């Protein structure tokens, strides 16, 4: 049973999964050893400057140093680190690569948005019933949003189409939602921006005929925890929870209209997401409207398993 590690470095967070891999009747099963997430905001101001900020690189380096200690203690045999939206867009991304080589002793891969979407799909659908497919899996990150449509056939995840577009909670906050709380006009502008950009994804990823919408990663899992009014974040309560369109709309409006000082009192909300969760919620609300109009979907299923699990499976 090999022990593997996956690291996902996104625009807002860097996350680690250490897992043991077992093969049962030709199917790979992951058994979690350790999961961890740090908010490092690597994509701070990238949308405006085109560069990774020195302070953001240092926050990421500090988190990675701690992760390396965990990997050594756990006796990890194989590791894969991927970097997504922020590093794809940064003119000084070689500074990031050099830092990773120095700390991790391995290369970070900048994967395409399409591969990011595929890995998210493979990780997300493992606990779902094949008969509930086809599925559309959505990951709303800090700098990008991925849509991927696929199915489960004979226990294997099969991707039909995928697309990544440059809209995420950090980008949309910095571009449109700087007020605290943002004005109604700014919210309307942000919704229009999100709708226009997401239309690109839906043009590339047909969702007609899809039966189940699955949401993964920090923005969406946080929305579930807030909607459930959890006193603190509980992954067991979040995994495979469901939110209706009305519930998504209500929590989005509440977060957008609430000052950051009040959001910070929500026990289930990580401090590093306080300033950007409203934008993330708005993007999910737009997705809800689009998926209802295009595919008649009226419910979101939330999965704790995502790109990390997909990365781990790719090196098992």
The model's pLDDT over 239-254, given as tens digits with 9 standing for 90+, comes to 999 999 999 999 999 9
- The domain ranges of the chain are 3-110, 126-307
Question: The whole model's pTM is what?
Answer: 0.80
The answer to whether the beta carbons of residues 12 and 170 sit under 8 Å apart is: yes
pLDDT tens track, the chain, 316 positions? 789 999 999 888 899 999 998 876 556 678 889 999 898 989 888 878 889 999 999 999 999 999 999 999 999 999 999 987 678 778 998 999 999 999 999 999 988 777 877 888 888 887 888 899 899 999 998 888 989 999 988 767 888 999 989 899 989 998 999 899 999 999 999 999 999 999 999 999 999 999 999 999 889 999 999 999 999 999 999 999 999 999 999 999 999 999 999 999 999 998 889 999 999 999 999 999 999 999 999 999 999 988 898 899 888 7
**Whether CATH 3.60.21.10 fits 126-307:** no
The count of residues in the chain is 316
CA distance 135 to 151: 6
Angle subtended by helix axes 245-257 and 217-227, to nearest 10:
90
Which tokens in the block code for residue 201? 């994804």
Q: Which residues contact 41 (CB under 8 A, 6 or more apart)?
A: 11, 12, 56, 59, 142, 170, 272
- Tell me, yes or no, if the two domains 3-110 and 126-307 fold the same way: yes
Strands 27-39 and 13-24 turn out to be antiparallel
Beta pairing partners, 4? 19, 78
Which tokens in the block code for residue 209? 């005929």
pLDDT tens by residue, 273-298: 999 999 999 999 999 999 999 999 99
CA distance 194 to 157: 29
Which tokens in the block code for residue 34? 């350790």
CA distance 205 to 211: 14
**Whether CATH 3.30.420.40 fits 3-110:** yes
The answer to whether the beta carbons of residues 102 and 96 sit under 8 Å apart is: no
């Amino acid at each position: 049973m090999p022990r593997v590690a996956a690291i996902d470095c996104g625009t807002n967070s860097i996350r680690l999964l250490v897992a043991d891999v077992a093969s049962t009747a030709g199917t790979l099963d992951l058994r979690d050893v350790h999961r961890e997430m740090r908010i490092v905001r690597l994509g701070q101001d990238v949308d405006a400057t085109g560069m990774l900020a020195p302070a953001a690189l240092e926050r990421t380096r500090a988190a990675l140093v701690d992760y390396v200690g965990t990997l050594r203690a756990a006796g990890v045999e194989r590791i894969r680190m991927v970097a997504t939206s922020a590093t794809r867009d940064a003119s000084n991304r070689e500074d990031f690569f050099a830092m990773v080589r120095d700390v991790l002793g391995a290369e970070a891969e900048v994967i395409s948005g399409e591969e990011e979407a595929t890995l998210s799909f493979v990780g997300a659908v493992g606990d779902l019933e094949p008969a509930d497919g086809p599925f559309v899996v959505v990951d709303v990150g800090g700098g990008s949003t991925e849509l991927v449509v696929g199915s489960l056939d004979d226990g294997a995840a099969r991707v039909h189409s995928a697309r990544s577009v440059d809209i995420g909670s950090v980008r949309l906050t910095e571009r449109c939602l700087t007020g605290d709380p943002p004005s109604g006009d700014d919210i309307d502008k942000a919704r229009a921006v999100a709708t226009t950009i997401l239309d690109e994804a839906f043009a590339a990823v047909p969702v007609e005929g899809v039966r189940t919408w699955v949401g993964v990663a920090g923005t969406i899992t946080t929305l579930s925890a807030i909607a459930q009014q959890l006193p603190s974040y509980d992954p067991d309560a979040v995994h495979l929870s469901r939110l209706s369109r009305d519930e998504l709309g209500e929590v989005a409006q509440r977060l957008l209209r609430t000052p950051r000082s009040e959001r910070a009192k929500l026990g289930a909300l990580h401090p590093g997401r306080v300033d950007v969760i409203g934008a993330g919620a708005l993007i999910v609300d737009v997705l809800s409207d689009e998926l209802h109009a295009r595919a008649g979907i009226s419910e979101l299923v939330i999965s704790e398993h995502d790109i990390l699990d997909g990365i781990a499976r790719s090196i098992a």
